[in-house]
Amino acid sequence: MAGAFLLAGIALLGGSLGFRWHVSSEADRLQSAGVPTTATISDRSGGGGRGSGIDRIEINYLFDGVQYEKWIPCAGLTGCHSTPGPQVTIRVDPADPERFVAENGHTNGSLSFLMSWTLIPIGLVLTVIGAGLLFVVLKDKDSWA
């Protein structure tokens, strides 16, 4: 039981932080190496109130004759106060056109489950609980001998 808490906590904490680092480094790389392209904002979803989810926009862009359609967060932590647009500049990875960074800094991976800020404290709490339980079990095991 202690090991399950510990492993789950480490997985959530490490996975979330690692994925955030990966998305951030990918955004930095695409800011300099990406090909500038204009994307059209075609839809907006979420953000109708507390618990309504992340404000997000759907963008469509054409790169090398192929049409792409992706959802990205609309803005930062405060969400969108109005729909941006109708167009936004993105920088596309020429080697993999499904990868991009928008001018608001979000990438095609920004809506991933692992990007949720709640995973970091949940992972930390599970890690502490698991380590505490493991400590108690190992301490009691020594007293049985």
pLDDT tens for each residue of 97-122: 999 999 888 888 887 778 777 888 89
pLDDT of 85 over the 80 cut = no
List Cα–Cα distances, 3 to 8, 10, 11, 129, 135, in angstroms.
8, 10, 12, 10, 11
CA dist 111 and 31 (Å) reads 19
pLDDT of 51 over the 60 cut = no
List Cα–Cα distances, 32 to 53, 56, 127, in angstroms.
31, 24, 37
Joined together, the tokens standing for residue 125 give: 């709490």
Asked if 99 and 92 touch (Cβ cutoff 8 Å), the reply is: yes
pLDDT at res. 141: 73
More confident: 116 or 126: 126
pLDDT-derived band of residue 42, with 50, 70 and 90 as boundaries? confident
